[in-house]
A and B are shown apart, each in its own frame.
Chain A
């Protein structure tokens, strides 16, 4: 093995205080970027959770609907028009909207009603841990997530409350269906959803379309578009993308997360550049000796680059360990931080790029070394 690695590691570990400062810079930077990007991914997942769990091939939405929670309404007559299109297996209307949940104590809290025809099985509560979601078709039956007990002022199954002046009873409990708006989702049957949101029977929020297995998807979409007029027809992927785009960029939330991540990268780069530069300055006479002995510039650059790489790998491992703890701690929170394998790989690449680019300042300094200095001392 070349001594480049040995020289790099000795240079790095020689001054332990500076090495710790380097690691703190890298860890701070990587953890900050990891949290920001993890929040971005978590947020991105949360805003599409309903779309992800809907058994839909296509969605018919009111023109300009920006996301699943958009309160605009469609004319239900579109349902029959769409159902007549060749290749369409089913068209299921959905009604969603904000409402009020009134506790027995008289206290009120906002809730978000999600209602679909349960028999069609296009969007039902998932992760049901207690009770039976199929019983939602009964009048006054609702399913809630158990993480919202405090918000809803209930303690479990069979709890009662009022929505829009109508008595409701909790007949099923889910686990992990959280809303990024912090307003609890309340799953109900379509008929009840109309009552709780004040939606006329002739209107619906969206239409969920299932295509026949042998349907020509492109042709069916084209045909549906001609039937729905002003309304929009989106695939689930397109709807997801639009929802994410609205919540993450339309609201500025994504930009704020990216700005935080960028800040982390800048802080990390500056700290690593500063410590690498200072380490290089301390070892200038050694680099000059190498140069006097006939070493190529590349050999010396490699020492500095290896120092940067070593810092990157050690810093990344520490940051990843801290990140893992943070992910675990937020797993059950309103906005969990989501770390995917790709994010980890991208962060490692970013850390390496950050550290290596930080070495450029040190390399610029080394380029100016005159080997003659070795003879002057």
Chain B
């Protein structure tokens, strides 16, 4: 059995106050392991983003426990949570969130820089990782000069350049066409399998189901189904799927 990277138990989260209060999560148990690409799927408002934020230590649960690489987030302040993110987590955002004034290589290097890894070695490593996502030739390009798919590849390179234990990706393919979506999912799957990282992809894009080692469905704040194995066993139309 692979090493558990993130473990959450009995997570509940209430958002809002008074009459507008919403029970976003109603008791969620989940583990993320190295070498696994997990897909978290569910309709809008099902609680998948809330769960992602809790797994990413950006939101604290109303109750329940979160353990990241053996470190409990209980009683951790904002700075301590940032340190957990810095030490263990890489993020891929739906809208890329690259820095428009930095080059692609500098955007990747930034993930090392905030960890105190400066200098030429960091710059070299950033360029190498950019090469791994097929953008070695565009290291000096600014995000504005890159396509959506290329920008998302830069974002992925930024997410795993510092060797985090887990990569959390929020709708990474939703703004991309089929070809780019497939490329992005291939890179994320390689990251999970070949670099032995835990990868969680939050999505409602059924086309990426074939890439998942585990598919978890969430509805009304509860995990309702969990499936593992071949995509054929998952109820998706073949024509719609990205083929790995």
Give the distance to chain A from B70, nearest Cβ to Cβ, in Å: 17
Complex: A14 Cα to B59 Cα, angstroms = 32
Query: What DSSP secondary structure best describes chain A's contact surface?
Result: helix
The answer to whether B83 and A4 have CB atoms under 8 Å apart is: no
The answer to whether A2 and B97 have CB atoms under 8 Å apart is: no
The answer to whether A294 and B53 have CB atoms under 8 Å apart is: no
Give the distance to chain A from B27, nearest Cβ to Cβ, in Å: 22
Residue interface mask B28-63, A partner, CB < 8 A = 1: 000000000000000000000100110010110000
The count of chain A contact residues (Cβ–Cβ below 8 Å) is 26
The answer to whether A6 and B49 have CB atoms under 8 Å apart is: no
Complex: A350 Cα to B124 Cα, angstroms = 39
Within residues 196 to 236 of chain B, which ones have a CB less than 8 A from any CB in chain A? none
Complex: A36 Cα to B103 Cα, angstroms = 45
Give the distance to chain B from A121, nearest Cβ to Cβ, in Å: 66
Residue B106 interfacial (CB < 8 Å): yes
The answer to whether A299 and B101 have CB atoms under 8 Å apart is: no
Residue A292 interfacial (CB < 8 Å): yes
The answer to whether A294 and B118 have CB atoms under 8 Å apart is: no
Complex: A292 Cα to B169 Cα, angstroms = 12
Give the distance to chain A from B45, nearest Cβ to Cβ, in Å: 14
The answer to whether B82 and A291 have CB atoms under 8 Å apart is: yes
The answer to whether A296 and B79 have CB atoms under 8 Å apart is: yes
The answer to whether B83 and A294 have CB atoms under 8 Å apart is: yes
Q: Which of A1, A4, A14, A290 contacts B101 (CB 8 A)?
A: A14
Complex: A375 Cα to B158 Cα, angstroms = 17
Give the most central of A1, A292, A377: most B CB within 10 Å: A292
Complex: A1 Cα to B114 Cα, angstroms = 12
Give the most central of B102, B110, B119: most A CB within 10 Å: B110
Instruction: For B119, give the chain A residue with the smallest CB separation.
Output: A1
Residue interface mask A139-158, B partner, CB < 8 A = 1: 00000000000000000000
Residue interface mask A218-245, B partner, CB < 8 A = 1: 0000000000000000000000000000
Residue interface mask A356-377, B partner, CB < 8 A = 1: 0000000000000001101101
Binds A, one of B1-9, B85-93, B129-137: B85-93
Chain B residue contacts of A1, Cβ below 8 A: 118-119
Residue interface mask A289-322, B partner, CB < 8 A = 1: 1111111110100000000000000000000000
Give the distance to chain B from A306, nearest Cβ to Cβ, in Å: 13
Chain A residue contacts of B94, Cβ below 8 A: 375
The answer to whether B49 and A293 have CB atoms under 8 Å apart is: no
Complex: A296 Cα to B113 Cα, angstroms = 11
Complex: A294 Cα to B56 Cα, angstroms = 10
The answer to whether A375 and B52 have CB atoms under 8 Å apart is: yes
Q: Which of A7, A296, A371 contacts B58 (CB 8 A)?
A: A371
Give the most central of A3, A11, A285, A377: most B CB within 10 Å: A3
The answer to whether B101 and A292 have CB atoms under 8 Å apart is: no
The answer to whether B102 and A375 have CB atoms under 8 Å apart is: no
Complex: A375 Cα to B168 Cα, angstroms = 12
Give the distance to chain A from B147, nearest Cβ to Cβ, in Å: 20
Residue A167 interfacial (CB < 8 Å): no
Give the distance to chain A from B213, nearest Cβ to Cβ, in Å: 24
The 3 closest A-B pairs by CB, nearest first: A294-B86, A294-B85, A10-B101
Where the two chains meet, the residues of A that have a C-beta atom closer than 8 Å to any C-beta of B are 1-4, 6-7, 10-11, 14, 285-286, 289-297, 299, 371-372, 374-375, 377
Q: List 10 A-B contacts (CB under 8 A).
A: A11-B101, A292-B58, A293-B86, A293-B110, A294-B115, A296-B79, A299-B113, A374-B93, A375-B49, A377-B95
